Structures are given as C-alpha cells and as structure tokens.
Chains A and B, each alone.
Chain A
C-alpha cells in the first residue's frame, strides 16, 4: 500500500499536469480581450507566445495564423505576412483555406491585384463550404475590378455583387489630364471632380496671394513680394496637381464603393470559443 506521503505527492503531480489545458484556456483570455480592445499588436504577440509554447506543429500553425489575423486587423500586413509564412510552414494542409483567404486579403491591402486574384481562385478551389466559395468569388471579382478587367469581374457573380459591377461599368470616370488642365484656373480642377469646398478654398487662396503680389509690387516691397511669389507658386502648382489628384481620387472612390458593394460588409472571423481548433464564422 502506498504511503500517505506518496499519495499526496502523486495527487499534487496529477493536479499539476491536469491544470495544463486549463492554463492554456486561461492564456486565451488575454489575446482575445486585447483584440476586443483594438490592441491588435499586443494580441498578436500573445498568440505568438502561445505558438512558441506549443509542441504540436498544426496547433502552433493555428496560433501563428491567429497572430497573422491580429496583425492584419491592426493593418500591419508585412508582419501578418511573416506570421502566415510560419503558419504555412507548420500546417500547410490543415490551414490551406484560411491561409489562402488571408494571403488574398494581404495582396488586396498591398495593391497586388494579380496575387489577390490568384489566392482568391486558390481559395475557391480548396474550399468545400459554400460560404468560402462565396468569399472567393466576390474577392476574385474585386481583384479583377481593381485590375481594370470589368468583364472578368462579373463572371460567376449574381445578385447584388453583379449589380455593383454593372453599375460601375455604366458609370464614368474623371479624366486626370482634364482635371490638370482645368486646374490652370485655380479651383476649377477640384470643381471638375465635384470637390466644391476645395475649389472655393483654392480660388480664395490664389486670389489672396495674387492680390498680395500686386500690392507689394506696387509698393516696391520686393522682399515680401519674393516670399509671396514663392507661396503663390506653391498654391498655383498645388491647384494643377490638385486637379489631377482630385480626378484620381474621384475614380478611386468610385472603384472602392463598387468593390465594397461586391464584397459585402462582413468578413470571416475566427471563433473565439473553439480556438485553437480554427473555426471561421461568416455573416453574409
């Protein structure tokens, strides 16, 4: 029969070992709280810590994927990319679908439209769930639209996303060179792209400084004149540049609005309950 001391010791060891998973579950509370508070970098750091303490490769890969997701939420795509590399090394097959999705999002954020299209297509091929395929189709359409392939963007879409592509195709872009040319008359370049407030401010500032130039020239105040001339040259060149940039902004806004409609408001997000068994929820 085992002595009382030994029994106590064994009980202590058993309890110590058994509390391991409980501690792991407790460790999850911190990164999730940090994510809720918007402290994505700190949350990612906690996930990385959990990954380093993990002996099972696929589980460690999932932690790295969650770190990538947290970095992505904090708009730090280079670090998100590094974490995705780690996750891909550790669990390439288990995480094929979420990896493709986050890679595609990274490519979109980094304006690498060709890669984004490739990853969304990979996602469409790898995913079994209809929700994932929907994400893939919409994402691929967005990437194609950004690339300027309007006809290709509509392929495989239906309903609201298709309507968004058609509306975009029917609309008209502003021509940057026209904006620049109109910008020779201060304010008109902004006005061409519908930025009335900016147009009025540009007109007012240019008029004010030109008036100042005339007044100082009449009074032979050449030192002040040269300072004002430098400032007026800046405002005037700014008006031309602004006319071009406003046209680009207008076109970009139109494109972004179309993409927003195509992709919908919601994105997949990891389940906070089932981590590290990675489950993604959709809210279409």
Chain B
C-alpha cells in the first residue's frame, strides 16, 4: 500500500528566489534613493554656502556631491557650482574657465545650467576673447527662462557691447533689445559697487599712500605689523570710512601699537597660521556713530 500523502501547499519552484530578488531590488532602490537624497542634501548645503559667500566651502561640498552617486540633474548643478566657486578663488585660472566653458558648450546638459555657466564664462572671458564671450552671453540672454540669469546675462552683454563697437554692429538685434529693456533691470551686486570700494576725493590720499606701501614697500620688508588688520589695511579702512581723518586714526594706531601688541588681549589666527593681536577699526570709531 502506498503511503498517503498529506496535502500540503507546496511552494512553486523559484518562489524563494523571486522573493529574495524583490527584497534585493527594494534594498538597492532604497540605497540609491538614500544616496541621491544625500547628494541633494549636500548640494543644498553647497548652494546655501555659496549664497552666504563661503565659496571655498561651497566648492568642497560640490566635490563631495560629485564623489557620491548624484543623478544627472544634481551632478550638473554641482558641477556648475563647483566651477563658479573655482572662478571666485584668488588663484582662479585656466581650470575654472575651462570648466565653465565645458559646461556651457555641453548640449546634453540642462539649458538653465548651460545658461548660468555661459554668463559666468562670458563675464570671465569678456576681456580676453570678446567675440566668444559675446556668443556665450547671447546664448544665455536668449535661451534662459530664469529671471536672475536673464538679468545677469543682459547686464554682462550690455557692458560688453557698449565697449566693443564691432560686436555691436554684428549684433544689432541684441543691442536694440538690451537698450530697450535695460531700464527694467533691478540694481544688483553686479552693477553697484559695494560702499567699501566707492571712490571719493577724501579717500584718495589714503588709497595712494596705503596702496603704495602695500605694493612697493610691504613686499620688500615683509609683514611686520603685530596687529590685525595690518596698519596699511587699517589706514585704507579708516580713510574709506572717515576720509582724511583716517590719517589721525593711523597716527593713533602707530602710537598704540607696542602696548596693544604687548597686552595681546584678543588674538587672531591668520589663514597662514600666524597669530596677531586683533585691533579692528570699529573698536576705535564706535563712538563716532555708525560707520558710513
């Protein structure tokens, strides 16, 4: 007699394998979403840092984004921001220009990223190669849908065409459009100089003497000032804020320097690692009211 089989719900062959595969797939999706989420977070941080003017840190954050697994859009934005950060470094050179050019000429990228890169590249390259810069700015001006980029491109293109008559003749449509709509552009940081660099006759002697010392004498004798900011920087700042009275502030500073340096009440570590005693202008003109 054959043994009776107990009826059981037999699993279909391959059921466990499919379950495992589904689980694996879900894990991978979650993992990749986590990775792109992290990249997006890092990019948000980089953009916030750039908005705060901390370009060096913003550039580092962009590198972090690009080292991760960003999606195409995130990677494009990160590359753009990294190139912009690189362009703002004091030693920005060919690498920054090349990175921006690569971005704006890359037809596979999002148009807005290309336009923003084109504006940045056009502004950097306007003096060296006005024709190419004009092409880039034209592209950004006519292609962008972003208001800020449109204004920036318009301003940069207007400045370029105003200086260059030959280019103006070649691009009559752009010139005409720019002239008719420039009245609507908002005043922004590209057009208005910050107050600290505004020129007045009262600041001229301080600029001349301070600038001469910084360019001709300072490099020869090295940085000797024990205070931060250095006396030449203090003179420039004081003349900028108070005109010719800046010289009196400098004389007072020179008289006080040995005792302030000896007291070392508040020290500052400079980027090169040297330590100086802090003696800012605001500690000596706060009683004059708000610094202009």
Please give the residue numbers on chain A whose beta carbons come within 8 Å of chain B beta carbons, in ascending order: 2-3, 5-6, 9-10, 12-13, 16, 41, 45, 48-49, 52-53, 79, 82, 111, 176, 190, 195, 197-198, 201-202, 205, 234-235, 237-242, 245, 248-249
Which residue in chain B gives the minimum CB-CB distance to A200?
A: B255
CB distance from A27 to the nearest CB of B (A): 12
A197 to B258 CA separation, bound complex (whole angstroms): 9
Q: Which residues of B contact A205 (CB under 8 A)?
A: 255
Q: Is chain B's interface secondary structure helix, strand, loop, or mixed overall?
A: helix
User: In chain B between 11 and 34, which residues have their CB closer than 8 angstroms to a CB of chain A?
Assistant: 16-17, 19-20, 23-24, 27
Tally of B interface residues using CB under 8 Å: 32
State whether A3 and B259 are in contact (beta carbons under 8 Å apart), knowing that A9-B24, A79-B52, A241-B252 are contacts in the complex.
no
A6 to B23 CA separation, bound complex (whole angstroms): 8
Verify A16–B27 contact, CB threshold 8 A. Answer: yes
Verify B44–A52 contact, CB threshold 8 A. Answer: yes
Contact of A111 among B252, B256, B286 (CB under 8 A): B286
Verify A245–B252 contact, CB threshold 8 A. Answer: yes
Which residue in chain B gives the minimum CB-CB distance to A203?
A: B255
User: In chain B between 240 and 274, which residues have their CB closer than 8 angstroms to a CB of chain A?
Assistant: 245, 247-252, 254-256, 258-259
Verify B247–A234 contact, CB threshold 8 A. Answer: yes
Q: Which residues of B contact A13 (CB under 8 A)?
A: 23, 27
Identify the interface centre among B48, B255, B259: most chain A CB within 10 Å of its CB. Answer: B255
Q: Which residues of B contact A240 (CB under 8 A)?
A: 248
Q: Which residues of B contact A2 (CB under 8 A)?
A: 16
Contact of B23 among A10, A45, A197, A237 (CB under 8 A): A10
CB distance from A83 to the nearest CB of B (A): 10
Q: Which residues of A contact B255 (CB under 8 A)?
A: 190, 198, 201-202, 205, 238-239, 242
CB distance from A232 to the nearest CB of B (A): 10
Which residue in chain A gives the minimum CB-CB distance to B51?
A: A82
CB distance from A67 to the nearest CB of B (A): 11
Contact of B256 among A53, A79, A242, A248 (CB under 8 A): A242
State whether A242 and B41 are in contact (beta carbons under 8 Å apart), knowing that A6-B16, A13-B23, A198-B256 are contacts in the complex.
no
A150 to B255 CA separation, bound complex (whole angstroms): 34
Q: Which residues of B contact A5 (CB under 8 A)?
A: 16-17, 20
Verify A49–B45 contact, CB threshold 8 A. Answer: yes
Q: Which residues of A contact B27 (CB under 8 A)?
A: 9, 12-13, 16
Verify A176–B16 contact, CB threshold 8 A. Answer: no
Q: Is chain A's interface secondary structure helix, strand, loop, or mixed overall?
A: helix
Which residue in chain B gives the minimum CB-CB distance to A247?
A: B287
- Further contacts, 6 of them, CB under 8 A, given A13-B27, A49-B42, A202-B255: A9-B23, A195-B256, A235-B251, A238-B251, A242-B252, A245-B284
CB distance from B283 to the nearest CB of A (A): 8
Verify A242–B251 contact, CB threshold 8 A. Answer: yes
Q: Which residues of B contact A239 (CB under 8 A)?
A: 251, 255
Verify A238–B248 contact, CB threshold 8 A. Answer: yes
Q: Which residues of B contact A6 (CB under 8 A)?
A: 16, 19-20, 23
State whether A237 and B247 are in contact (beta carbons under 8 Å apart), knowing that A3-B16, A5-B17, A16-B27 are contacts in the complex.
yes
State whether A52 and B45 are in contact (beta carbons under 8 Å apart), knowing that A13-B23, A202-B255 are contacts in the complex.
yes
Verify B251–A53 contact, CB threshold 8 A. Answer: no
B168 interface residue per 8 A CB criterion: no
Q: Which residues of A contact B258 (CB under 8 A)?
A: 197, 201
State whether A82 and B52 are in contact (beta carbons under 8 Å apart), knowing that A6-B23, A13-B27, A238-B248 are contacts in the complex.
yes
B167 interface residue per 8 A CB criterion: no
CB distance from B150 to the nearest CB of A (A): 27
A82 to B54 CA separation, bound complex (whole angstroms): 14
Verify A195–B251 contact, CB threshold 8 A. Answer: no
Q: Which residues of A contact B44 (CB under 8 A)?
A: 52
Q: Which residues of B contact A79 (CB under 8 A)?
A: 52
B124 interface residue per 8 A CB criterion: no
Verify B251–A237 contact, CB threshold 8 A. Answer: yes
A166 to B286 CA separation, bound complex (whole angstroms): 26
State whether A9 and B248 are in contact (beta carbons under 8 Å apart), knowing that A52-B45, A79-B52, A201-B258 are contacts in the complex.
no
Verify B41–A241 contact, CB threshold 8 A. Answer: no
User: In chain B between 186 and 244, which residues have their CB closer than 8 angstroms to a CB of chain A?
Assistant: none
A278 to B48 CA separation, bound complex (whole angstroms): 24
CB distance from A248 to the nearest CB of B (A): 5
